Amino acid sequence: MTSKAVRVGTRGSALAVRQTEIVLATLRAVHPSVTFETVTITTSGDRDRTSPIERLGVGTFVREIEEALARSDIDFAVHSLKDLPSATPAEFRLAALTAREDPRDVLVTRGRVKLADLPRGARLGTSSPRRRAQLLAAAPQVTVLPIRGNVDTRLNKCLVEADSGYDGGVLAAAGVARLGRLSAVAEFLDPRVFTPAVGQGILAVETRSGDAATARLVAAVEDPRSRAAADAERSFLSAMGGGCAVPVTAYAFFDGPRLTVAGFVSDADGREVVRDEVSGPPREASGLGRRLADALLASGARRLVEAS
């Protein structure tokens, strides 16, 4: 792998490029003789900045990157794990998952007003059905409006542009932190109330399934705790049958040596919410996710998922 540059695929947004550089900083330190070349790829989600995310479908920010990987135009790709479908196609492999950045959501508002102090009718932007439902469940006095664009664009709409129509918004803490914009945060939202997206805060390094050499190369960024959490969350989502249009998610975290998985399902407006938690050894991560899904489905979540 040292005779030519290793080509790394990523979206072209400032956040995506920054995330790729985070991965490459570790890989360059471990493999000083290897040259890495970043290849930016425009996805369908990047081209369409107006349609609701749920209409674009799961994988809208990764499809073209995986196509480039399949053609061997790139050697591996760096994604936000939360952008990936819960099932990885057979021709690809999630060869490494990075240590998890802060998985929480954050509230940004003009004047840094906290959620409980926002006046009735305050306009908060998010295009995530999960965040919309959780906002309306926790703060029914606010108005939730769709918003699209990369992190910088959404921050500017929520905080800078006077006539944007937004008083604030909800974003992932990890993305805001990676861009050095944490000073904009009004409040870090409790993950037991605002259950994060599956995989939020974890970066995924994807290779072709038969490319053992590249898998060994990127193994230096693998984090076992992130792997266990991701396995639990993704197996939950797969068992639930949820996608972009459904307010359904799970968050796995370590409580001492045990892995706890908290699940959330609701209707679109956050009026009917089903939650539960399971715990067990990390080696049973995937099974914990499936067990949590079974518990929620049996507690009324099936009707909510099928109705979405």
Q: Which residues are catalytic?
A: 83
Catalogue the E-assigned strands of the chain.
6-10, 36-40, 76-80, 92-97, 105-109, 123-125, 143-145, 168-172, 187-188, 203-208, 248-255, 258-266, 273-280
CA angle 114, 103, 238 (to 5 degrees): 120
The structure tokens listed for 236 are: 């939950």
State how far the Cα of 84 lies from the Cα of 139, in Å rounded to an integer. 29
State how far the Cα of 146 lies from the Cα of 46, in Å rounded to an integer. 16
Neighbour-count burial of 50, counting CB atoms closer than 10 A to its CB (0-12 exposed, 13-18 middle, 19+ buried): exposed
State how far the Cα of 146 lies from the Cα of 176, in Å rounded to an integer. 19
Q: Are 39 and 73 in contact (CB under 8 A)?
A: yes
Q: What is the DSSP string of 251-288?
A: EEEEETTEEEEEEEEE-TTSSSEEEEEEEE-GGGHHHH
State how far the Cα of 60 lies from the Cα of 67, in Å rounded to an integer. 12
Pairing of strands 168-172, 123-125: parallel
State how far the Cα of 180 lies from the Cα of 184, in Å rounded to an integer. 9
* Edge-to-edge order in the sheet of strand 76-80: 36-40, 6-10, 76-80, 203-208, 92-97
Torsion angle defined by CA atoms of residues 29, 34, 35 and 40, in that order, rounded to the nearest 10 degrees = -80
State how far the Cα of 202 lies from the Cα of 233, in Å rounded to an integer. 12
